[in-house]
Amino acid sequence: MINAEQILKTIRLTEKSNKLSSNYGQYTFEVYPSATKHTVRAAVEQTFKVTVTRVNIQNRKGKPKRSRQGRPITASDSKRAIVTLKTGDKIELT
């Protein structure tokens, strides 16, 4: 039994992710770096009681930036999962 709180951080609500969810049944989650496709699938199915048909993972590298003192720094890396649900399933976002 997996602990979904150790896999899923947050659900990403952006203009692009809202369009994906309404048109294609795809939802975007920010996940922990150790998450795999199998663990993300199990966590989403367990948490939201839906059927997952596909999981895509994106590793996003942090962009270079400058601190207030002018020193170069790097924003933190992130990992995202785009989850496609079975036709007819929905995740209610309240």
Q: What is the CATH number of domain 4-85?
A: 3.30.70.330
Instruction: Find the mean pLDDT for residues 71-81.
Output: 95
Question: Which residues are bridge partners to 83 per DSSP?
Answer: 27, 55
76, 34 Cβ separation under 8 angstroms: no
Helix (H) or strand (E) holding 32: none
Q: Three-state DSSP class for 38? A: helix
Is a pLDDT exceeding 80 seen at residue 47? yes
Report the pLDDT value the prediction gives residue 1, as an integer from 0 to 100: 61
Question: Which residues are bridge partners to 77 per DSSP?
Answer: none
pLDDT confidence of 46, banded at 50, 70, 90? Answer: very high
pTM above 0.95, yes or no: no
Helices (H) and strands (E) in the chain, counts: 2, 6
